[in-house]
Amino acid sequence: MGKKVSVLGYLDFKHIDGHPGHPYFCRKDLNWYGKPLNNYQIRDFIESPFDLLMNIFDEIVPPLEYIACHSPAKCRIGKYFANKEFCNDIMVDIGTNPKGIEKLSGQILHYAKMINN
């Protein structure tokens, strides 16, 4: 059976000029305390019952944390952050690796493959 992949990005700008090529949201899509608003892209993503949700962000990003915490995904995997265990079922500790996202995404894929076998 094929895999279905969904992507939702966050850009930390008030407005975005142009289109980044995938679904995204930005600060204008947040309420005054940083919670994502109930727009259809965000709502549909949060409500999707993914088998696996890969949280690929290497620093604390409250809007993405909110999505991770409220997702009904069967398994959520992302970077280890102290006191943020509630956001992920599996946490990957890459330390202060200068390659950040590259290292994190590689490690997440590694562990996702282990789960799948």
* pLDDT tens track, the chain, 117 positions: 577 889 998 988 877 666 667 788 989 999 988 899 888 889 999 999 999 999 999 888 999 999 999 999 999 999 999 888 888 999 999 887 767 889 899 999 998 888 876
Please give the full DSSP string across 35-93, using - where no structure is assigned. PBP--HHHHHHHH---SEEEE--SS--HHHHHHHHH---SEEEEE--TT-GGG-SEEE-
Cβ-contact 79, 104 below 8 angstroms: yes
Alpha carbons within 13 angstroms on the beta-carbon side of residue 87 total: 22
Alpha-carbon span 112 to 61, nearest angstrom: 22
Instruction: Give the CA-trace dihedral at 33, 42, 20, 6, to 10 degrees.
Output: 140
Q: Within a 10 A sphere around the Cβ of 17, how many other Cβ atoms? A: 5
Side by side, the strands of the sheet bearing 75-79 are 52-55, 75-79, 90-92
